[in-house]
Amino acid sequence: MRSVNIKAKPAPKAIRREPVADWMQTPSTYIEGDSALTECDRVAREVEGKWGVDRARLLVGEELRTKFDRQRYLLNRAIYHGTLEDVRTEARRMASAWRAVDRAATEAGAQAVSPDVWEVALDGKVYSLVRTADEAHALAADGRAREVWTLDEVARALQAFASASAIKLAFPGAKVVAIRAPSDPLRGVPDSNTPLDDVIPF
């Protein structure tokens, strides 16, 4: 009788899963934790809407900025590894940290973000133009369906259309009504398998 060696299939590798924090273990604790984080996010949006995204912490002194960043770390640790009480505590402290940098920036006389907005509607879409990225972030917080562009972004987009820029320079006051890609006759050819019926041009 012929013998056959049968190799056992290797055991499937264990799927590595990211640890789930204690507060996420049940729907009840998850809902409560999420509610605490939502309140903290609400305060953060208010402050960032006033000062700009990631700007408020730069408007205060080093000591307060360090405390603020340490609290951000503690909140993240609670979110990824903590209990429900950890999340509640650190979310409450983070909201207080946001209010502290808001007060300090106000007392220091820092300039809040106040976007000057130009808007235009075109083909059913609304485009908003602002000067800086901070103003763009502040504007985006209102939730309106529109595209927000900064002056820098518009300039970079215009660089991609050298022909339009050349016309503007050559004819001051010229109005751009449409920009179309140059036509390509090969786009009308279904494939490149048919030989040409004339002589090779070069």
Residue that is written with structure tokens 């998850």 in the block: 30
What is the rounded CA–CA span in Å between residue 115 and residue 93? 30
Spatial distance between the Cα atoms of 74 and 94, rounded to a whole number of angstroms: 9
Give the pLDDT mean for 105-128: 82
Residue 200, in any domain of the structure: no
pTM value is 0.57
Domain-terminating residue out of 107, 126, 156:
107
82 shares its domain with 51: yes
Same structural domain for residues 93 and 157?
A: no
pLDDT at 82: 94
Indicate whether 98 pLDDT > 90.
yes
* 95 shares a domain with 71: yes
Q: If you average pLDDT over every residue of the chain, what do you get?
A: 79
**Has residue 78 got a pLDDT over 90?**
yes
* 59 and 92 assigned to the same domain: yes
pLDDT over 70 for what percent of the chain? 71
The count of domains in the chain is 2
Pick the closest to residue 137 from 153, 122, 157 (CA basis): 153
pLDDT confidence tier of residue 66, bands split at 50, 70 and 90: very high
Q: Which of 77, 107, 137 is the last residue of a domain?
A: 107
Q: Is pLDDT above 80 for 194?
A: no
**Range of weakest confidence among 49-53, 112-116, 147-151, 184-188:** 184-188
Lowest average pLDDT, out of 41-45, 90-94, 147-151, goes to 147-151
Confidence of residue 186 (pLDDT cuts 50, 70, 90): low
pLDDT grade for 29, boundaries at 50, 70 and 90: very high
Exposed e or buried b per residue across 38-59, where buried means at least 16 C-beta atoms within 10 angstroms of its C-beta:
eebeebbeebbbbbbbebbbeb
Question: Is the pLDDT at 192 greater than 50, yes or no?
Answer: yes
Q: What is the pLDDT of residues 125-179, one digit of tens each?
A: 888 888 888 778 777 766 677 788 888 888 888 777 777 677 767 777 666 666 5
